[in-house]
Chains A and B, each alone.
Chain A
Amino acid sequence: MAAAQIFAVVIFIGMFVMIVLDKIERHIVTIGSGILTLVVVFGICMRSGSAIMDTLAIRSFITKDFWYQVTESESKGINWATILFIAGMMVMVEGMAKAGFFRWLCMKIAYMVKCKTVPIFITFMVMSAVLSMFIDSITVIMFLAAVTIELASLLKFNPVPMILSEVFCANLGGSATMCGDPPNIIVGTSLGFSFFDFLSNTGLCAAISLLVSVLFLYFAFRKEITGGKHEPVDMSKFPKPSEAITNKKDFIISCIIFAMAVILLVTHATTHLTVASIGIFIAAVTLIAFGKHALELIKKVDYKTLLFFIGLFIVVSGLEETGILKLIANFIGDISGGNVMLMIAIILWVSAIASAFVDNIPFAATMVPVIQSLAETSGVPISTLAWSLAMGTDIGGSATPIGASANVVGTSVAQKNGYPIGWGKYCKKLAPATVIVLTISTVYLFVRYL
């Protein structure tokens, strides 16, 4: 077992280093590491066919629970529910983007507040948070940042504070729901939580934090936001929201499918449909609705991200099957001395600090079995630890420009348009904002769950 443990750790660390170095595309890194785990750790060291089968989890497809789940259950190995759900949402989002939904929404809101800078700043932050509750933050920021830059050039303001605030709120909004941020999908599907479980736990914390964050970011950036030229706004010069719609029929269909996805997610604890079923259903409806353009949408699906997840789950299974994650859980249990308050604080803050510097998806995938084991040995409810992990990984990512995907996309869009955002500019306002939200989360977790 010692050899298996050593190889599992070496493969895991090697994978992390390769992801950071960015020399090879990250999906190739995780898939390669996954194959190594299957062959070396499970095959050569452990000689365990059952470990390989458990990790590949192919049998999960033929279980009723995978599609229709009455009682909560936990998954092991490759989390296919996460993969199918993300794939389904990708298809839906591609359809929405093709129809012009996101650009239309941004323009519509800018028009509703009469293209005034401060109201745009506030409404775009809220919109970023709300959209990120249901749609991946990469897509949300891709569109929001592009429209912000367009509006900035028309209204003559500096788009950087607005883009940074949107990025922060996207990460915060993502923490509110099960499908908002990949770590939440992993936590939810692995531990059997529903959309509503997240909404009523992390969602409430995110709502309080959003209120405080909007105020903080407004005061932090008010000089830059209100410092632009105050010429009367000539609305006729602005692109009309309706111009964003590429095809009215596709636009209406996209809106209906999006509404359906939201309803299915909100009610899935009642309907017992799993996120895997919802993902497949939404993808199928989108493809049928878009008819001859269906192939185009499928081609746009980011299969690299899906492969990245598959490889990642295999590597994490290597750590799990060899007992490494149990050792980490025992270590956390030991240093907290059974003190639940300390346990929550460690999970929240360590997850946050780690997520500020490394990809929070591998971190969350690794930590799920750790908190499972910790809950078993310490008797602390798994839900309390799950919310601590979700908040920590989701919020911590906001602290640095590399902490979360939304940060990378937002700063990249700004840079491509001539607004370089380095670490100093990014961290000056968003690192304190992150600390504030983490403090709120800590207090929230203590008050509500202890």
Chain B
Amino acid sequence: MPQVIISVGREFGSGGKAIAEQLAKRFNIPIYDRHLITEIADKTGLTPEEIEKYNEKPKNHILSRRVNGYSNSIEDNIAEMQFSFLREKALSGESFVVVGRCSETKLRDFKCLVSLFILGDMSEKIKRVMAIYDLSEDKAKAFIDKKDRKRKRYHNYHCEGHWGDSRLYDLSINSSRLGIDKTVDLLEEYINARINNG
């Protein structure tokens, strides 16, 4: 199989991560999400917990500064490490699935990139989050809003385009319409078509 990089952006609770995992299985390629944290932990000597603390988080503008391209925001530096790790992997010719990390923008120069954005109906997202995190409806909604706000700020700080804007991705899809499995079927078909198209 020629190199393929599948970038999966997602709304919190949309099942984007589950979809990414299934795609990785179907194409038999690695997925970089949690693994990205452990790989960087190995490389830097930081603990995965330390990296997790700052992972996909927007920087605090008041408490950090940037001088001549040097930022002293830990969030910024963890993000930059992840971006360069992804670029290295992409340059090595490896195929992989990556969840979030502004990958649709950071890897857009690679022709083999297929960028997807998974969204969902709020009611479905709440149900999902309530089940996974054992939360009440109100708390699940607040949790989703908080997570998505952070992802949006993180993305929009590191990229020119806006998080979730369909013009930024090859395909945006609402996972609530077909459910996780059928959405994966459809995406698999699309990715295969892209691979065959060269």
Interface hits, A111-157 → B, CB 8 Å: 138, 142
Interface residues of A in 408-450 (CB under 8 A from B): 408-409, 411-413, 415-423
Determine whether A302 belongs to the interface, using a CB cutoff of 8 Å to chain B: yes
Q: Which residue of A lies closest to B51 (CB)?
A: A420
Chain B residues within 8 Å of A419, by CB: 45
Residues of A contacting B54 with CB < 8 Å? Answer: 420
Residues from chain B with a CB closer than 8 A to the CB of A415 are: 72, 74, 77
Closest to B72 in A: A411
Please measure, in the bound complex, the distance between the C-alpha atom of A22 and the C-alpha atom of B60, giving whole angstroms: 10
Contact flag A409-B61 (CB < 8 Å), given A418-B45, A418-B46: no
| A416 / chain B contacts, CB cutoff of 8 Å | 77, 80-81
CB neighbours of B72 from chain A (8 A): 401-402, 407-409, 411-412, 415, 421
B135 to chain A, nearest CB (A): 30
CA distance A98 to B81 in the complex (A): 26
Digitize B30-60: 1 where CB-to-A-CB distance is under 8 Å, 0 elsewhere.
Answer: 0000000000000111100010001000000
A-contact 0/1 string along B167-191, CB 8 Å cutoff: 0000000000000000000000000
Beta-carbon nearest neighbor of B61 in chain A: A21
Q: How far is the CA of A421 from the CA of B61 in the complex (A)?
A: 16
- What's the nearest-Cβ distance from chain B to residue A17, in Å? 10
Known A412-B71, A420-B74; contact A20-B66, beta-carbon cutoff 8 A:
no
Closest residue on chain A to residue B66 by CB atoms = A22
Q: Which residues of B contact A302 (CB under 8 A)?
A: 68
B67 in complex: contacting residue of A23, A409, A418, CB < 8 Å: A409
Q: Is B62 an interface residue (CB 8 A)?
A: yes
**Cβ of A286 < 8 Å from any Cβ of B?**
no
Cβ-defined partner of B71 (8 Å) among A142, A408, A417, A423: A408
Asked if A388 is an interface residue, CB under 8 A from chain B, the answer is no
Among B46, B70, B80, residue most surrounded by chain A Cβ atoms (within 10 Å) = B70
Contact among A22, A359, A401 for B61, CB-based, below 8 A: A22
User: Does A405 reach chain B (CB closer than 8 Å)?
Assistant: yes
- CB of B129 to closest CB in A, whole Å: 30
**Closest partner residue, chain B, to A417 (CB atom):** B44
Q: Is the CB of A138 within 8 A of B77?
A: no
User: What's the nearest-Cβ distance from chain B to residue A135, in Å?
Assistant: 14
Q: A138, B66: Cβ atoms under 8 Å? A: no
A residues less than 8 Å from B67 (CB atoms): 138, 405, 408-409, 412
**How far is it, in angstroms, between the C-alpha of A405 and the C-alpha of B66 when the chains are bound?**
8
Chain B nearest Cβ from A57, distance in angstroms: 26
Distance between A438 CB and nearest chain B CB, rounded to angstroms: 21
Complex CA distance for A305 and B68, rounded to whole angstroms: 8
Q: How far is the CA of A138 from the CA of B43 in the complex (A)?
A: 26
Q: Provide the main secondary structure of the chain A interface.
A: helix
Measured CA separation A411–B73 after assembly (Å): 9
Which residue from chain A places its CB closest to the CB of B69 in the assembled complex? A412
From known contacts A408-B70, A408-B71, A415-B72, infer whether A423 and B77 are also in contact, taking CB-CB under 8 Å.
no
A383-402 Cβ-contact flags toward B at 8 Å (1 or 0): 00000000000000000011
Bound-state CA distance A212–B61 (Å) is 34
Chain A nearest CB, measured from B71 CB (Å) = 6
Instruction: Give chain A nearest CB distance to B68 CB in angstroms.
Output: 6
Q: Whole-angstrom distance from the CB of A327 to the nearest CB of chain B? A: 27
**Distance to closest chain A CB from B83 (angstroms):** 12
B64 within 8 A of A: yes
Considering only residues 200-229 of chain A, those with a C-beta below 8 Å from chain B are none
A359 to B65, CA, bound (A): 9
Inter-subunit contact B74/A22 (CB<8 Å)? no
Min distance, Cβ A340 to any Cβ of chain B, angstroms: 35
* CA gap between A21 and B156 in the complex, in Å: 13
Within 8 A of A (CB), among B65-108: 65-68, 70-72, 74, 77, 80-81
Q: Is the CB of A423 within 8 A of B63?
A: yes
Given contact pairs A20-B61, A405-B67, A408-B65, A422 touches B45 in the complex (Cβ within 8 A): no
Is the CB–CB distance between B61 and A408 below 8 Å?
Answer: no
CA A138 – CA B65 in complex, angstroms?
13
Q: Which of B54, B71, B80, B81 has the most CB of A within 10 A?
A: B71
Residues of chain A within 8 A (CB-CB) of B81 are 416
A415, A416, A421, A422: residue with the most chain B Cβ atoms closer than 10 Å: A415
Residues of the A chain whose Cβ atoms lie less than 8 Å from the Cβ of B77:
412, 415-416, 420
In the bound complex, what is the Cα–Cα distance between A412 and B75 (angstroms)? 11
Find out whether the CB atom of B68 lies under 8 angstroms from the CB atom of A409: yes
How distant is the Cα of A41 from the Cα of B143 in the complex, in angstroms?
47
Chain A residue with the shortest CB-CB distance to B62 = A20
B80 to A, closest residue via Cβ: A416
The smallest beta-carbon distance between A400 and chain B, in angstroms, is: 9
C-alpha spacing A416/B80, complex, angstroms: 9
How far is B50's CA from A359's CA once the two chains are assembled, in angstroms?
29
A401 engages B64 (CB within 8 Å): yes
Produce 1/0 per residue, B136-155, CB < 8 A to A.
00000000000000000000
Q: In the bound complex, how far is the Cα of B81 from the Cα of A417, in angstroms?
A: 10
Q: Contacts A412-B70, A412-B72, A415-B74 given: A402-B65 contact, CB under 8 Å?
A: yes
CB under 8 Å from chain B, chain A span 298-343: 302, 305
Given contacts A416-B77, A416-B80, contact A408 B46 (CB under 8 A): no
Distance in angstroms between the alpha carbons of A161 and B136 in the assembled complex? 46
In whole angstroms, what is the CA distance A409 to B77 when docked? 12
The 8 closest A-B pairs by CB, nearest first: A418-B44, A412-B70, A411-B72, A415-B77, A408-B67, A402-B65, A418-B45, A405-B67
Q: Give me 10 other A-B pairs in contact (C-beta within 8 A), A359-B65, A417-B44 excluded.
A: A20-B61, A142-B70, A401-B63, A401-B72, A405-B67, A405-B68, A407-B72, A418-B46, A420-B77, A421-B72
Some 8 contacts from A to B, beta carbons below 8 A apart, are A138-B68, A401-B63, A401-B64, A408-B66, A408-B67, A412-B70, A415-B72, A416-B77
Chain B interface residues (CB < 8 Å from chain A)? 43-46, 50, 54, 61-68, 70-72, 74, 77, 80-81
